[in-house]
Amino acid sequence: MVGYWKIDEESNGYINDESPSGNNAQINSALWVNDSPIDFKTPVYDYSTIAGSYIQLTAKEGVNPAIEMTELVI
């Protein structure tokens, strides 16, 4: 496991890595939306990159795209 981040709108933009890796992060310019699923637009893959890292987060729209992202495990 590279990292485990619990996404929490009460975190003031700071996300602590709960894994032994200690890859803490900061979210900048985020807009929190209540009760809204992740929306993966075409093309099928949407991605985010953590600045200064070699990790690329990729997700594929599947059977149930209306999932709520409350945590992230890599």
pTM: 0.41
For residue 3, give the nearest of 46, 65, 50, 59 by alpha carbon.
Answer: 50
Mean pLDDT value of segment 52-68: 49
Sequence ranges of the domains in the chain: 1-74
Query: Between 69 and 27, whose confidence is greater?
Result: 27
Give yes or no for residue 38 having a pLDDT over 80: no
Instruction: List, in sequence order, the alpha helices (H) in 14-54.
Output: none
- Matching residue, tokens 């990292």: 3
